[in-house]
Structure 1
Amino acid sequence: MSLTPPTFDQAEYLGPPAVPPAFDSAIFLRAIAFGIAGAIAGAIVYAAFIGITHIQIGYLSIGVAYLVAKAMTMGSNGRGGRPYQVAALILTCLAVAFGNSLLLWWEIKDQGILLSPRVLYFLGRFGLMKPFLEFQHSPGGAILGLFILFIGLRAAWRMTSGEPGAVRHPFAR
């Protein structure tokens, strides 16, 4: 039995190549609007849980990422891609920061501090910096918190990929 070497003169396709759907800005804006709603809901749940229980658990950021990504997926009717993924990451980070800002506001609201643009600026700045400020108190806890946030961001990235049959929950491989 003699084997003939393969030739690469001609390519044979099994079917037509998959063409990704064209980018539709109206659908993307709808997904962003849904994502913002998910981010606001996630931030409120994040802050309310920590404010009521006084238990700061990093896994809440995974829930926030899930809410944002799920809302964006619903808003886009399952579409996705790089713009959706980047938007999901940004909205998730902003939602966690907003949750941290809400927690600080909850602590200072009884001290007679009025919500002015300057106070809102400092609340927002604190919210964005809080995961890194944790290094002053507990470096190990800060690293763990950032790692858990990374897991949530990874889940949001995968959930908004737009791939058919893509995993739609945060704990998939």
Structure 2
Amino acid sequence: MRKTLRRLRRHPRTLIGTALALVVIAVIALAALPHHRTAPTVYTPQVRTRVYSPFTACLLTGASGITDTQTAPVWAGMQTASTNTRTQVSYLAVQGAQTASNAESYINALALRGCAVIVTSGTAPGQAADQRAPALARITFITVGAPASKAANVTAVATGTAAGVSHKVAALLTAAIGTHTTAP
């Protein structure tokens, strides 16, 4: 190392040449770096989730589910109300015997699930709602295609045109959710 330094002192041109070579290498290295002075582009993924209110509305149907011709407009009305109120909606079909006593266990399951509003479509689910409504006073029931009820928390919707049923269910569900959000 000392010998190298002595040689460089004896030959100033070598010292200048070495320094110049290092400067050239540094300039080339800097030139190779990107010159973008703009802020980096931040990728923000598009949010596709929907934020729901803390209330849930549930539909109890006969064995055919939401494909039944009487139930399809009910489900459409519930989806309209869901869009307007940000309430999550779901459905459950009664399996097995289409009787009120069998449908009662499904009403209980929906109540345990935390449904603020239970909509029923069909005779057996409607009768089960009518029988369980007094014990489930905090839940609002909307029955479509079932006889009128004496329970205060049950509203019966008469069958009619698909558009009429859909509109009526959407209006009743929107109103019911409104009462749940303002209640203490």
TM-score relative to the length of structure 2: 0.24
Which structure: greater helix fraction?
Answer: 1
Greater relative contact order (Cα 8 A, min sep 6): structure 1 or 2?
Answer: 1
Which structure: greater strand fraction?
Answer: 2
TM-score relative to the length of structure 1: 0.25
Greater Rg, structure 1 or structure 2?
Answer: 2
